[in-house]
Amino acid sequence: MLFLGFSAGLPFMLVFATLTAWLREFDVSRTAIGFFSWVGITYSIKFIWSPVVDRLPLPGLTRWLGRRRAWILLGQIGIAAGLTGMAFTDPQAALWPIALCALLVAFSSATQDVAIDAFRIESDIDRYQGALAAAYQMGYRMAILASYTGALYLAEILNWQLAYLTMAALVGVGMVTVMLRPEPLPCVDRISAGREPRAAAFAERHAELPGWARQAGAWLVGAVVCPVTDFFGRYGRFALIMLGLVASFRITDIAMASMANPLYIDLGYSKAVIANISGAYGLAMTIIGALLGGALTARFGLLRPLLAGAILAAATNLLFAWMAGQGGATWALVLTISADNLSGGIAGSVFIAWLSSLTSTTYTATQYALFSSLMTLPGKFLSGFGGLVVDTLNYPVFFIISAVMGLPAIFLIMIIMRYASRRETVDAEPLRNGQ
């Protein structure tokens, strides 16, 4: 899982932050760079084709490697091909080739993620899942360092073509892992067992439909309808408020992400400085923030740290607006990255814990997948317009707007805190009356 985590994390920055630095250095317009961030929507909608990855055998590959490893390898082949294609494109000549290659990388990476998650869950008994997930996250963070800090160093010392070719070669780490490790044994878990009766009932009620239509409908009932109705059944109309927070909490930091590296380049920071401060140092601050967020949650519960995280996430965007007027001072970059990544780590860890608390144990995987997609999709869509705002206005105005986008999340958390407080009061009333 350490090596598969590395394989999963490697493509992510190469179609986001690293790519934006490359494009801006070649004087691609910020408007075009902003629209490139829409490639990331692929990660937010991967649940759409996850049933295909889950059930469709690949000719030749599945018989040779098994269901999970076949799809993982296919995703890795697509990633390596896309990165190689990006290496041999010239952003100054045409943007469509690099956009298509980046889309291939993102789609293949999202497909690989679906298959790796299934591989991990099926690979061992429940008591080892924590260790497998930890190893996966460690590998993922190592890949982020390689594909952002490492790629920027290679581009500084050599050139962008060799940097991306090196990253394509590193996909081989995951390929070798797939070849050497055995396919996990298929099993029917309690989630599948819990939803099969509903799926079977749908198929029985619609016997007049063709077989493929009954199967598709039964899958939708078990995989989509039941988890959604379960969530609304537990929270009623207030579920809309919670979904509103899921959709808005990450908008402020995701929306600004597409313009962070172009800002660094335009302020004159070298790729080595960006790699050191925004990459390695920023990752360290994120990890510290995540640990701090976990400690705050243990001490104060979920909602108060969640509110603090939302306020910090919005406020630190104002630092980017301030940094844009500092003329490329290194200390300004260090201060901004410190505050932004520390607050991002706090907000991220607390928000993930809150999302996890919303899921039902019967539909954990499906509900969390839907939550995580809703969490990132609005911000990624809005980030595509970031370059247009910067080119039309300027960097400070853009980052101020992105900070204001965090206000709805703060407001919704306050509503949820009042709702939780009232529920605690109602639940405690029978105890006060001796019942």
Q: Are 158 and 63 in contact (CB under 8 A)?
A: no
pLDDT at residue 86 is higher than 90:
yes
In 3D space, the residue among 133, 100, 155, 98 whose CA is nearest the CA of residue 4 turns out to be: 133
What values do phi and psi take at 129, rounded to 5? -65, -35
pTM of the model as a whole: 0.75
pLDDT at 188: 47
List, for residues 261-298, the tens digit of each pLDDT value.
Answer: 889 999 999 888 998 898 889 888 988 888 888 888 88
pLDDT at 413: 94
Closest CA to 281 of 342, 223, 198: 342
Contact partners, residue 217, CB within 8 Å, separation at least 6: 202, 203, 206, 209
The average pLDDT across 320-333 equals: 89
Q: What are the Cα distances from residue 430, in Å, to 70, 235, 418, 425, 426? A: 56, 21, 20, 10, 8
Rounded CA separation 68/62 (Å)? 8
Task: With cut-offs at 50, 70 and 90, classify the pLDDT of residue 107.
Answer: very high
Most confident of 124-133, 200-209, 423-432: 200-209
Q: Quote the tokens at residue 415.
A: 């509503």
What is the percentage of the chain residues whose pLDDT exceeds 90?
Answer: 31
Which is higher by pLDDT, 235 or 431? Answer: 235
For residue 120, is pLDDT > 90?
A: no
Quickly state the pLDDT bin for 233 (edges 50, 70, 90).
confident
Higher pLDDT: 426 or 234? It is 234
pLDDT at 63: 84
Q: Could you tell me which residue, 11 or 93, shows the higher pLDDT?
A: 11
* 8 Å CB contact between 346 and 309: yes
**Would you state the pLDDT for residue 147?**
93
Percent of the chain with pLDDT over 70: 84
pLDDT at residue number 223:
64
Nearest Cα neighbor of 109 from 141, 161, 20, 117 is 117
Pick the closest to residue 25 from 270, 236, 209 (CA basis): 270
Q: Kindly report the CA angle at 260 between 259 and 263, in degrees rounded to 5?
A: 85
The chain-wide mean pLDDT, for the chain, equals 83
Q: How far apart, in whole angstroms, are the C-alpha atoms of residue 155 and residue 313?
A: 31
Measured distance CA(250)–CA(243) in Å, rounded? 12
Average pLDDT over residues 349-355: 82
The predicted pLDDT at position 302 comes to 86
Residue 421's CB is within 10 A of a number of other CB atoms, namely: 11
Residue with tokens 């009620």: 205
pLDDT at 85 over 60: yes
CA 48 to chain centre: 16
pLDDT of residue 431: 43
Residue 202 is predicted with a pLDDT of: 65
109 and 75 Cβ atoms separated by less than 8 Å: yes
pLDDT tens profile 155-197: 999 999 999 999 999 999 999 999 998 887 765 444 444 445 6
**Residue 302 φ then ψ, to 5°:** -90, -40
Arithmetic mean of pLDDT, 231-235: 83
Whole-number Å distance between alpha carbons of 371 and 390: 30
For residue 385, the number of C-alpha atoms closer than 13 Å in the C-beta half-sphere is: 10
Of 184, 65, 202, 61, which is closest to residue 132 (Cα–Cα)? 184
| pLDDT score at 194 | 47
Q: Which pLDDT belongs to residue 291?
A: 83
- Where does residue 57 fall: left (phi above 0), alpha (psi -120 to 50 degrees), or beta otherwise? beta
359 φψ region: left (φ > 0), alpha (ψ -120 to 50), beta (else): beta
Distance CA(194)–CA(128), nearest Å, equals 23
